[in-house]
Structure 1
Amino acid sequence: MLKIWGRISSINVRKVVLCAQMLDIPFVRMDAGLSFGVVNTPDYLALNPNAMVPAIEDGPYTLWESNVIVRYLCAREGRLCPSDLQTRFISEQWMDWQQTTLNRASGVAFVQWIRTPETQRNHHLIAQSVEATEPLFALLNEQLQHRPFIAGDQLSMADIPLACEVHRWWGLPQTRPSWPHLERWYAQMRQHPGAVGVLDLALS
């Protein structure tokens, strides 16, 4: 059975769990990271020398980096990984954008609102994060204006990390603009049976 290492409070672990559930892959998840520890033990470092979550064990095969794991599981199952070359790389493009651009902008506000005690919270950093993040969600909203899913007409691996990113931003105690196409898409993602226990969780 697939083993997923990492606490569900991590956006990167949520990506892998959401992917496995959407693909109907049986798995067991072991808490690791932050207060759970584990990540600095010799056994875990043999799985992921970066001492971060997630990591997976698929039999003797191990892998780390959340979006890479999503790609691997989709390719393994032959589902959600577009067979058309150009569509596949549109998916890859948006997955990389989530990790390198959107996550970097939005993560600051998340850390301040959710992981920082109220007395230590820096609202200037939150404002900077909001200023950097909102144009990116506007761009994603535009991408979804004429297509039901991120990469086109069909649900693909690209939708998984971006749904987790939206889940995290939507969960922050702050106002946001109206992005109707993004809201329509995210509502559809939340209705997927695989979203239970992931996209319905409170942030922590």
Structure 2
Amino acid sequence: MIEILGKTSSINVRKVLWTCAELNLPFTREDWGTGFRSTQAPEFIALNPNALVPVIRDGDFVLWESNSIIRYLAGRYDGEALYPSDPFARARVDQWMDWQATDLNRSWSYAFLALVRQSAAHQDAQEIEKSIAQWTHNMRILDARLQETGAFVAGASFSLADIPVGLSVNRWLGTPFEKPELAGVSAYMERLGKRAGAASYANSSLT
């Protein structure tokens, strides 16, 4: 049984939960993080010296970093449909996962913390505007890709890449500012919404 350490309000924890749902993997989960057990506790630091969620235990195997975790789960538990072994197809999945973790994440971070989390340290109006502009730019890149595939971010089939990307789109939808119409993104979220994992872990009330 997979053990997941981390609170469900964490977007990175929800990546792991959604992946488990796609793979029909049973798991247990413990609440760790702000408002719950501290990730600075010695027993947590022993598992992840970065003091960040999620962490998983799979028997004696411990792993942290959310994208590494979901790649591991797909590789270990018959997730070929999500994370193909063909090098070309796998590279496309990895490309969009890495784009979400770098360019997309960096662009939405300030605006999200300011407008949703109401962080006192993120209330500079110019920085909020800058973050929104870059976030919108990246969402237009995603929209163009989705209109090209007419389906999912890595191609015609749902893949591991759609989990982090779909969760980031959820944050886009749940953050209060004026947004352009993105037809490809809207259709994409309708497709994702038909999946049980998305229904549980990727809707606009779970930013």
TM-score normalised to structure 2 length:
0.92
Secondary structure of 1:146's partner? helix
Q: Which residue number in structure 2 is paired with residue 152 of structure 1?
A: 155
Contact 2:171 2:204 in 1 (8 A): no
In the alignment, structure 1 residue 23 sits paired with structure 2 residue 20: no
In the alignment, structure 1 residue 73 sits paired with structure 2 residue 73: yes
In the alignment, structure 1 residue 191 sits paired with structure 2 residue 194: yes
Off by >4 Å, runs of 4+ in structure 1: none
Q: CA deviation at 1:101?
A: 0.9
Contact 1:22 1:195 in 2 (8 A): no
Could you report, residue by residue, the CA deviation over 1:11-43 in whole angstroms, capped at 9, with x for unpaired residues? 111111111111111111211111213311111
Contact 1:20 1:26 in 2 (8 A): yes
Secondary structure of 1:140's partner? helix
Contact 2:32 2:39 in 1 (8 A): yes
The percent identity for this pair of structures is: 39
Q: CA deviation at 1:78?
A: 2.3
CA distance in 2, matches of 1:102, 1:117: 20
Could you report, residue by residue, the CA deviation over 1:84-132 in whole angstroms, capped at 9, with x for unpaired residues? 21010111011111111100110111100122268x8333322111111
Contact 2:4 2:57 in 1 (8 A): yes
TM-score normalised to structure 1 length:
0.93
Q: CA deviation at 1:203?
A: 4.2
Q: CA deviation at 1:201?
A: 5.6
RMSD over aligned CA atoms reads: 1.8
Could you report, residue by residue, the CA deviation over 1:53-75 in whole angstroms, capped at 9, with x for unpaired residues? 11111111110001111111111
User: Which of 172, 175, 178 is matched with 1:175 structurally?
Assistant: 178
Contact 1:11 1:168 in 2 (8 A): no
AA in 2 matched with 1:185: Y
User: Which of 139, 142, 145 is matched with 2:144 structurally?
Assistant: 142
In the alignment, structure 1 residue 161 sits paired with structure 2 residue 164: yes
Q: With a CA cutoff of 8 Å and minimum separation of 6, indicate the structure with the bigger relative contact order.
A: 1
AA in 2 matched with 1:130: I
1:115–1:85 CA distance, 2 compared to 1 (3 A): same
Contact 1:114 1:203 in 2 (8 A): no
Return 5+ residue gaps in structure 2 as ranges: none
Contact 1:2 1:56 in 2 (8 A): yes
Q: Which residue number in structure 2 is paired with residue 82 of structure 1?
A: 84
CA distance in 2, matches of 1:127, 1:8: 29
1:188–1:202 CA distance, 2 compared to 1 (3 A): same
